[in-house]
Amino acid sequence: MTGPTIVRHNRIDLALWALRPGTGRPLLLLHGLGEATSLELFPAAEAWPGPIWGLDFTGHGASTIPVGGGYACEQLMADVDAALAEVGPVTVAGRGLGGYVALLVAGGRPALVRGAVIADGPGLSGGGPAPTAPHLGILAPSTSTPDAYALIELNADPRPPDYARHMVALAVAGSGLDEPIAVAAALRPPWLEEVVAQSGVVETDIATALATYAALD
């Protein structure tokens, strides 16, 4: 496989991997906290009819490690948006942290996200509904990914359930889809409990979710 396409997001070079070529709407895969894009497709993804891409978040995989930390999931949402500027409308499937970011980008760019799948993986829970005590130790700069600051800060970011609910509402209002969010996770942190309680969200397995979204116009 050739190297990734580099997509620039402010001062970060993001690695966007072309996992499989094809025609039609791409599937964009988002990894979990501390992970990187897997170059090996999972079985449900293999069935996707179009091209498949994978994005390494800031501080992960082959993407830039920023100096001094300062991670927030909204930053990662903008990472994904930088990829959308490159590949156009997609269906998104994220595991763990990538699942939460998939929700954010489905709400933030509803016209560009034709379905978002949330699956289990590292970083799914985050820090809970309210802030916890911040980690204030200054770390030596990480020389390899994952960035230590990413692991600390993205495991502790607050995820209020009503904030997640608003993101679902944005996705429903802006996508034109009946069920723009598919939850395939067994773990249900408070933000995800709130998400599955909303209309516009379907609880299913990954394969069924991807098949449904693949059939969309």
Partner 1 sequence: MITYPGARRPDRGRRVDAGGLSLATYEWGDPADPPLLLAHGGFDFAGTMDVFAPLLAAGGWRVVSWDQRGHGDSDRAALYRWEADMRDSLAVFASVGDGPIPVVGHSKGGSLMTHVASVMPHLVSAVVNIDGIPSGRNMPDVQDHERTAMIATEVASWLDHRRRTAEAERRPGTLDELAERRAQSNPRLSHEWLRYIATIGAFESADGWRWKIDPSMRMGGFGPFRPEWSLQRVAEVGQPFLAIFATEPEMLGFGTGDADVAPYLPPRGRTATIDGVGHFVHIEAPGPTAELVLEHLEPLRRGAGR
Shortest distance, position 161 Cβ to partner 1, whole Å: 10
Q: Is 129 in a helix, a strand, or coil?
A: coil
119 CB-near residues (< 8 Å, 6+ apart): 93, 94, 95, 96, 99, 184, 185, 206
Tokens of 84: 């959308």
Alpha helices, DSSP H only, in the chain?
43-46, 73-87, 97-108, 148-155, 161-175, 190-196, 206-214
Closer residue to partner 1, CB minimum distance, 56 or 153: 153
- Smallest gap from Cβ 190 to partner 1, in A, equals 12
Nearer to partner 1, 21 or 137 (CB): 137
| In the complex, minimum distance from the CB of residue 70 to partner 1, in angstroms, rounded to a whole number | 3
Give the interface with partner 1 as residue ranges (CB under 8 A).
Answer: 8-12, 58, 64, 66-72, 74-75, 77-78, 81-82, 85, 107-109, 130-131, 133-141, 153, 157-160, 163, 166, 169-170, 173-174
CB of 198 to partner 1, least distance (A): 11
Smallest distance from the beta carbon of 26 to partner 1, in angstroms?
18
Nearer Cβ to partner 1 (133/186): 133
Query: Would you say 9 or 95 has its CB closer to partner 1?
Result: 9
What's the Cα-to-Cα distance from 119 to each of 13, 24, 30, 115, 123, rounded to whole Å?
26, 23, 10, 13, 11
Looking at the Cβ atoms of 47 and 139, the one nearer to partner 1 is 139
Smallest distance from partner 1 to CB 28, Å:
16
Integer angstrom CA distances of residue 207 from 97, 169, 187: 20, 24, 18
Query: Contact at 8 Å (CB) between 90 and 113?
Result: yes
Judged by beta carbon, residue 50 or residue 190, the one nearer partner 1 is 190
Q: Is 190 exposed, middle or buried (0-12, 13-18, 19+ CB in 10 A)?
A: middle
